[in-house]
Chain A
C-alpha cells in the first residue's frame, strides 16, 4: 500500500465514549482511488472509525477523539475550517437509506442548494447527471416530483448515493450500505462502487466476508477497537499474517 499516494492518513487515533474506549491507537493509510474495505465482526468499531472521518462523532455526548486524521495535508480533527465544509468532502451511505422528507429531485439537489446553487437549469443538469451515475434516471425520470419515500428501498439507497455524490466529494464512506437491501439491489450497489473507485476514494465498512472478497482492493481487519491487520486484498485473503485474521476468514467469528 505504501507505494501509492495515501488519501487519508490516520495517526494514533483514539476514541472513547465516557470512559469506554471504542477505538484504540488506530494507525492507517487509505490510498486514493481505491476501494478499501474495513472488515470485522459487529461491535468492533468499524462504524465509529467511519464516523470519526467525517466528524459525526462531534454529535455524540461524552465522545472524545484524540489523534490526527490527515486528508491530503490537512488535519481534519484540528483544522479551523468549518466542519460542514469537511463533511461536504465526503459522501456517506448509511446502513439503510434515509431519504430526506422531500421529493426525488430535491433530495439529489439538496446538497447543492444548501451550498447556494439555486439556478434551475444548473440543478436540472446536475440532478440528471447524478441520477444517471447511479443508474436511477430511467426509473425515476418521469416522477422526479414524487416523494423519495415512494421508491423501493434499493432505489432509495441508490438515491442516497446520488445525493451524496452531488455534493462533489472526494471520498465515499459506506457503512454496510447493502445490509438492508435484497441481493439484486446489493449487487447493483457493489457494481457501482467498482465503477466509482476510479474517481473517488471509497471506504466500505462491512462484516460480510464474501462482499469484501468481491470488491476490495485493500482490506483493514478490525477486532475490538484495534486494527489487527491491513494489506492488499490478495495478500489478506490468500496469506493472512495474523492468527485472528485466519480465524475470521475461516468464519470463526460468524
Chain B
C-alpha cells in the first residue's frame, strides 16, 4: 500500500509556493484517513500482544484473547447477559434524562442567582471530590436490593457534573455582550434567551458528555456493590465463580458501550454546535 503521509502543517506552502505537493489526507483506495488506519492497527497489535501474553500462561487471570472471544460469543447471546444488560440499560434510561434536566436547571439557577450558587456550591464540591462509592451502602440501606438504589446512585453521579458544567457555561458569558444587552435595555428574559443560554451551550453539552460516562460508571459500580442485578452484578458473580473468560467478555462489552456512547454524544454535540461559537 502506498504511504499517503500527513498533510503539510502549513496549508500556504503548497505547489505554487514551494513546489511540493501536499499529500492527501484521505486514503484514495479505502477512503479511510490515516488516523483511523493507525487506530485500527493499534487495536490489532494490542489484541496480538494479549493473545501472546495469554498463551504464555503468565496468570490464570489472563486468558488468551481467543478464549475470551469464544466465551464472549456464548455469553453475549445468553439470557443471563441479556437480562443483566436490560436491567442496567433501564436503570440508566430512567436515571439519566431527569439528571440532565434537573442538572441543567439547577446549573442555570446557580449561574444566574448568586444565592443559589452559595447554597448549592458546597454540595457540588462535596459530590465532586468525595468518592461516591462510599455512600452507596447508605443508599442501599434506604432503598434495599432494588433497582431504585442503582437509579439513585446514577443520579448522584451525573447531577453534579451537569450542574457544574452548566454553571460554568453561564458564568463564561461575555461581559461585553451583557453590557450590550444592558445598553439596549434588554429584559432579563431576553438576555438569558439570546445571550446566556447560547453562551452556556458548549460547556453544558460537554457536561452531558461527561455525564454519559459517569452514568455508566455509577450504574455498574452500584450494581457491583448491590451484587444481584445488572451488568455490574453479573461481573461480580462471574468474578466470584472465577469464570475468567466470561468476565473478560462482559468487561469488553462494557468498554465498547462506553466508547460508542461517547462517540454518539460527540456526534450530537457537533450537530448542535452553534455558528461562530
Q: Do A and B bind each other?
A: no
